Amino acid sequence: MTKAAPKNFRVKSFGCQMNVYDGERMAEMLSEQGIVPAAEGEEADLVVLNTCHIREKAAEKVYSDIGRLRKAGAKSGREPMIAVAGCVAQAEGEEIMARSPGVSMVVGPQAYHRLPQMIDRAVKGERVTDTDMPAIAKFGALPARRKRAPSAFLTVQEGCDKFCTYCVVPYTRGAEISRPFADLVEEAKRLVDGGAREITLLGQNVNAWRGEDDRGRAVGLEGLVRALAALPDLARIRYTTSHPNDMTPGLIAAHGELDKLMPYLHLPVQSGSDRVLAAMNRSHTAQSYVRVIEQFREARPDIAISGDFIVGFPGETDAEFEETLRMVDDIRYAAAFSFKYSPRPGTPAATMDAQVPEAVMDERLQRLQSLLAVHSQAFNESTVGKRCDILVERKGRRDGQWIGKTPWLQSAYFTGDAEIGDLVTVELEQAGPNSLAARRLGTVDA
């Protein structure tokens, strides 16, 4: 049955920042085709669910969302055209098509540049799946960036060759690839022209990025960071997510040399136990990880460290979990994400013996999160009294109040004269559980 061509769309992204970036690029591409973003609260003709497969709960969301959309559509007599994109599309494309007749399109993370052609076929009544993998073609085929915002994401690297035994990313995103240096500088310039003061470079293994600079020299991520630091109107550079084994002395040193490189490092570790790290195929030890952090602190003493943790990996004993707690105490994280292990279909860990009971995982997660909360509060308190700049991202709830990020990626708010996109100098005055109160001292530049 043919369908009406969609006039407006909504993209809903789940999961990591790379999905947020992909969602923005899909939105830009659809706008280029003359399909407009649906207004807040308005029903969209086309809904793109940009999904995440990392844990079971994340993956299940797509089916409940499809159900909700179809129900709402049946009620209003106007069912939207549904496209499932992202990592669940890549991993379970066929299953989605079989289970959900309301879905017209399934499009993987490396194929979404072909979405417009897929829509044309869906309009003719076809159900279309495209989960082809070669990643680099996508970027060349996308229209130029249009985003206008003070803080923007820029994907520089995609995919993963590490094959941690619990993780789906190598299967959903494919092999590690680096986008070319010149393309990235070009995209960064467009973002800056559109008002970006801060750019966060993204990659599943961002510090594995490799390229050739404008003089043909082989460079790593620090070479790219240095080139972007030379853009006069760009004030801040961040990057995420790094892998401990891809860390280079050059990138560490850059943190001591470049004011524009923000003092924040997200470096997942997953566990503090060498036996568990080996079973996870992390290919680093607790000690080699701690050594990397020490080197960052030598280069940039105020650097805020963040990490990811998994509790209840198959076979994890109480004593091994305690090693994770000890590592957390050692490192004193400013921020962290921690998860219960979730068995993922097709990964080696899913079929390992000694899966840890849910109740044990619950208890471990709670203990870990309480400890991480103590350290993050301590970090935030340690910044009280400091002067720093806040990049203003939005209005606060109260009149005249503004919210933005400190160099250490804390949320902070102040009252006074400002505009979105300003860098405002403040003194940090008080640390709450989710944000810091600050006093405005002045605007860095108008």
Q: Which residues bind ligand F3S (CB under 6 A)?
A: 15-16, 18-19, 52-54, 86-87, 168-169, 172-173
Shortest CB 167 distance to ligand SF4, Å: 3
Decide which of ligand SF4, ligand F3S, ligand SAH, none touches 424; Cβ closer than 5 to 8 Å per partner kind. none
Decide which of ligand SF4, ligand F3S, ligand SAH, none touches 163; Cβ closer than 5 to 8 Å per partner kind. ligand SF4
Shortest CB 108 distance to ligand F3S, Å: 10
Decide which of ligand F3S, ligand SF4, ligand SAH, none touches 13; Cβ closer than 5 to 8 Å per partner kind. none
> Interface with ligand SF4 by CB under 6 A: which range of 71-79, 141-149, 164-172, 371-379?
164-172
> Interface with ligand SF4 by CB under 6 A: which range of 13-21, 110-118, 157-165, 248-256?
157-165
Decide which of ligand SAH, ligand F3S, ligand SF4, none touches 339; Cβ closer than 5 to 8 Å per partner kind. ligand SAH
Shortest CB 168 distance to ligand SAH, Å: 7
CA-CA distance, 307 to 334, in Å (whole number)?
A: 9
Helix axes 115-123, 17-32, angle to 10 degrees: 60
- Check if the beta carbon of residue 310 is closer than 8 Å to that of residue 270: yes
Per-residue burial over 153-192, b = 16 or more CB atoms within 10 Å of its CB, e = otherwise:
bbbbbbbbebebbbbbbbbbbbebbbbebeebbebbbbbb
Q: Which of residues 180-219 bind ligand SF4 (CB under 6 A)?
A: 204-205
Please say which residue, 345 or 400, places its beta carbon nearer to ligand SAH. 345
- Please count the other Cβ atoms lying within 10 Å of the Cβ belonging to residue 60: 11
Decide which of ligand SF4, ligand F3S, ligand SAH, none touches 200; Cβ closer than 5 to 8 Å per partner kind. none
- Please count the other Cβ atoms lying within 10 Å of the Cβ belonging to residue 315: 15
Bridge-partner residues for 177, per DSSP? 158
3-state SS, residue 389: strand
Sheet bearing 236-240, strands edge to edge? 151-155, 198-202, 236-240
Q: Which of residues 216-245 bind ligand SF4 (CB under 6 A)?
A: 243
232 alpha-carbon distance from chain centroid: 26
Decide which of ligand SAH, ligand SF4, ligand F3S, none touches 170; Cβ closer than 5 to 8 Å per partner kind. ligand SF4
Residue nearest to ligand F3S (CB): 15
Decide which of ligand F3S, ligand SAH, ligand SF4, none touches 122; Cβ closer than 5 to 8 Å per partner kind. none
CA-CA distance, 48 to 60, in Å (whole number)?
A: 16
CA-CA distance, 358 to 253, in Å (whole number)?
A: 43
Binding site for ligand SAH (CB under 6 A): 54-55, 166-167, 169, 204-205, 241, 243, 268, 270, 308, 310, 339, 341-342, 344
Decide which of ligand F3S, ligand SF4, ligand SAH, none touches 271; Cβ closer than 5 to 8 Å per partner kind. none
Amino acid at 80: P
- Check if the beta carbon of residue 414 is closer than 8 Å to that of residue 426: yes
On the CB side of 135, how many CA atoms lie within 13 Å of its CA? 21
Please say which residue, 194 or 348, places its beta carbon nearer to ligand SF4. 348
CA-CA distance, 262 to 228, in Å (whole number)?
A: 13
Residue 266 engages ligand SF4 in binding (rule: CB under 6 A): no
Cis peptide before 383 (omega within 30 of 0): no
Shortest CB 308 distance to ligand SF4, Å: 8
Bridge-partner residues for 284, per DSSP? none
Please give the residue ranges that form the binding site for ligand SF4 (CB under 6 A): 160, 162-164, 167, 169-170, 204-205, 243
